[in-house]
Homo-oligomer: A and B are copies of this chain.
């Protein structure tokens, strides 16, 4: 059960609600986000919800049978829309493409990409400055100076930045330069990092774990939301399986199912989802018509020369055509 409290709730009113919850043996947790004030209540007893709904200080109340609460569509039927400023929104009908290199490589790489995004009317640029790598001997990213440069160039052109954060320690220095923090697949259940994301006011996109369930992804989102940050996006990026002809198995089913379970926006990542440049557009089209609220892809002026993940990085030309077709397909479904 979730109780949304009135903004100006008095101490007496709150006590009244808590007493009532005690009576029915419900435990509650106060959650204050940038948008509202909630009590997330967990218990098993059966009771007449109106007895609480009628109390002073209660703005809204719903039973939520799902194990995750605040991110559930049973709590909020209306889809959430995340506002990035400057007229860029995601969710509840607002669709966004995001493109950029796997790793930010340097000024020329940034400028070329920004130019292509502008040309295609795309408002969000992706790129890694700290890279999670299986091997300790692999390249680990351009770091904070690269991020600052990237931010400076994007700001000129009104492009928003999405980039992965791998540890809480980096939050402070990255904060001013990132518009959406990405939590990578390997950190999808790094609960301390998720807790940290709950304390900020900027959007967070959580990628599904390598073999994560959809419920686990929703739970991870609940960590951030219940920590105080409502601006959460979910990302399907393919799951691990036995098939060897592609990198990951893009789980197209995840899109309609997540959209049914949660009010949060769902983003598709076809680059990691299939891992082969020449098939990325087909998976992007599929994602768009299956109901995704956004698509994030890896692109590069010269894909074969991309510093990392070259195999799945598409060319600017392919990106441009893809953006156009995605728009047309979305137009058909209305």
Residues of A within 8 A of B (CB): 29, 40, 42, 67-69, 132-137, 166-169, 186-187, 189-195, 209-216, 219, 222-223, 226-227, 239-246, 249-253, 255-257, 260-261, 273-274, 276, 278-279, 282-283, 285-291, 325, 328-329, 331-333
Q: How far is the CB of A251 from chain B (nearest CB, A)?
A: 6
User: What CA separation (Å) do A131 and B246 show in the bound complex?
Assistant: 29
Q: How far is the CB of A182 from chain B (nearest CB, A)?
A: 15
Query: Which residues from chain B contact A331 at a C-beta distance below 8 Å?
Result: 332
Query: Which residues from chain B contact A289 at a C-beta distance below 8 Å?
Result: 282, 285-286, 288-289, 329
16 pairs from A and B in contact (CB 8 Å cutoff):
A42-B137, A136-B194, A136-B222, A166-B192, A186-B191, A187-B190, A211-B242, A240-B242, A241-B242, A250-B252, A250-B253, A253-B273, A253-B279, A256-B274, A282-B290, A285-B333
User: What CA separation (Å) do A132 and B289 show in the bound complex?
Assistant: 33
Query: Which residues from chain B contact A29 at a C-beta distance below 8 Å?
Result: 137
Query: Which residues from chain B contact A186 at a C-beta distance below 8 Å?
Result: 189-191
Q: How far is the CB of A175 from chain B (nearest CB, A)?
A: 17
CB-based closest 5 A-B pairs: A211-B211, A286-B286, A285-B289, A186-B189, A167-B192
The reply to whether B166 and A168 form a contact with Cβ atoms under 8 Å apart is no
Query: Which residues from chain B contact A69 at a C-beta distance below 8 Å?
Result: 137
The reply to whether B191 and A133 form a contact with Cβ atoms under 8 Å apart is yes
The reply to whether A219 and B135 form a contact with Cβ atoms under 8 Å apart is yes
Query: Which residues from chain B contact A68 at a C-beta distance below 8 Å?
Result: 135
The reply to whether B257 and A242 form a contact with Cβ atoms under 8 Å apart is no
User: What CA separation (Å) do A134 and B194 show in the bound complex?
Assistant: 11
The reply to whether B210 and A252 form a contact with Cβ atoms under 8 Å apart is no
User: What CA separation (Å) do A223 and B138 show in the bound complex?
Assistant: 11
Extra A-B contacts (11), CB below 8 Å, given A245-B261, A256-B278 = A134-B189, A136-B219, A166-B192, A215-B245, A239-B243, A241-B242, A249-B253, A253-B279, A257-B279, A286-B287, A331-B332
Minimal Cβ-Cβ distance residue in B for A283: B252
Query: Which residues from chain B contact A246 at a C-beta distance below 8 Å?
Result: 253, 257
Query: Which residues from chain B contact A325 at a C-beta distance below 8 Å?
Result: 332-333
Q: How far is the CB of A289 from chain B (nearest CB, A)?
A: 4
Q: How far is the CB of A254 from chain B (nearest CB, A)?
A: 8
Query: Which residues from chain B contact A166 at a C-beta distance below 8 Å?
Result: 191-192
The reply to whether B215 and A240 form a contact with Cβ atoms under 8 Å apart is no
Query: Which residues from chain B contact A42 at a C-beta distance below 8 Å?
Result: 137
Interface residue from B187, B193, B214, B244 paired with A245 (Cβ < 8 Å): B214
The reply to whether B213 and A253 form a contact with Cβ atoms under 8 Å apart is no
Minimal Cβ-Cβ distance residue in B for A191: B132
Query: Which residues from chain B contact A192 at a C-beta distance below 8 Å?
Result: 166-167, 169
